Amino acid sequence: MAILPIITAPDPLLKVKSKAVDRVDDGLRTLMDDMLETMYLAPGIGLSAIQVAVPKRVVVVDVAREDEPANPLYLVNPELVCVSDNLATYEEGCLSLPDHYADVERPAEIEVAFLDYHGKRQTLQAEGLLATCIQHEMDHLEGLLFVDHISALKRNMILRKLKKAKRLEATA
Ligand code: NI
């Protein structure tokens, strides 16, 4: 397994719409293994392939708490089958927007269809943090970030700060 570099905003790749996966093969499983290891190290609870500069519709998630056993979830070509009318708000962060957080409102319950680690078709009902996390990661596949759900004022403030941080890094 390998640790992959995570790209951060305002990298234009984060706005790219990711392409559907044709086949879940060993190459894709290696990518998923590497993504999971990268996510655990970061640490984060979700990672989409585009965040490691691979524009494929692949997401890894693990919302288990530190005192719980690891519970990795691999979602290839995920699609929302249904979403609840009731909404839930979580303070979201993103490995591609380091050190920035904001409250985001999303459907509280979802049903998602996807191909698993072995290419088998699965559906999953999720609520709470898992539902939010899956929707956040699926947004990445459309080129969206959590800041696209908040006010333009707040979004621009966060993006400006990240741009500035990158400039400082480049000159350091
Ligand atoms: Ni994210």
Average pLDDT over residues 109-136: 98
Residue 35 C-alpha to ligand 1 middle, in angstroms?
13
Domains of the chain: 12-171 (3.90.45.10)
Q: What is the pTM of this model?
A: 0.95
Cβ–Cβ < 8 Å for 39, 52: no
pLDDT of residue 169: 84
| Structure confidence at residue 1 (pLDDT) | 79
Each residue of 18-54: pLDDT tens digit? Answer: 999 999 999 999 999 999 999 999 999 999 999 999 9
Higher pLDDT, 51 or 170: 51
Dist. CA 3 → ligand 1 center (Å): 17
Given 66, 68, 105, 137, the catalytic residue: 137
Average pLDDT over residues 142-160: 95
Cβ–Cβ contacts within 10 Å for residue 63, how many?
17
Residue 150 Cα to ligand 1 midpoint, Å, equals 14
pLDDT at 50: 98
Round to whole Å and give the CA distance between 25 and 54. 16
Identify the pLDDT of residue 171.
81
- pLDDT reported for residue 100: 95
Dihedral class, residue 111 (left if φ above 0, else alpha if ψ from -120 to 50, else beta): beta
Residues 141 and 121 sit within 8 Å (Cβ to Cβ): no
Active site includes 137? yes
Dist. CA 67 → ligand 1 center (Å): 23
Q: What percent of the chain lies above the pLDDT cut of 90? A: 94
Please give the distance, rounded to the nearest whole angstrom, from the Cα atom of residue 172 to the centre of ligand 1: 26
